[in-house]
Structure 1
Amino acid sequence: MPKQMPALRKSAVRGSRSGRPIMALLDLLGRRWSLRIIWELREQSMTSRALRSACDEASPTVLQARLSELRDAGLIELAE
């Protein structure tokens, strides 16, 4: 059985009653700035300031919220 991402297990999803992991993933990836953040982090780790510069129109609050959501879902990780 495939391993599910931690934060995507049977949670309520906007517009879906199933709560299936794929629906939760698509919901997360469809949120504003999620794909841009993943794109910017594709090749290397970035500081919060560098990521904010790369995503120049994103507010710091939204950027931090998306980073937390992506981290909780296991799609990105915090570099030490």
Structure 2
Amino acid sequence: MAQMARSPRQLGTLIQNARLNRDLTQQALASMVGTGQKTVSRIEAGHPGTKLDTLFGILAALDLDLQLGPRNKGEPDLTEIF
């Protein structure tokens, strides 16, 4: 089932859940992607500044896709989230 993320923190939580569902440590995921454990930790914590190629590498390693769609009018604006 598709899940929605509207902030780096929400995306990080989704990535963390996917990693844990696959019984992977942060280090194991980092090794699969060719990055460091600290990078995975920062992404999962929602820190900004992640390189897109790193993010897409993590998504591929976790067998996840990124889907974009129009925002529902009833959903909060970004200014309400941050």
Give TM-score, length-normalised by structure 2.
0.29
Name whichever structure is richer in helix by fraction. Answer: 2
Q: TM-score, normalised by structure 1?
A: 0.30
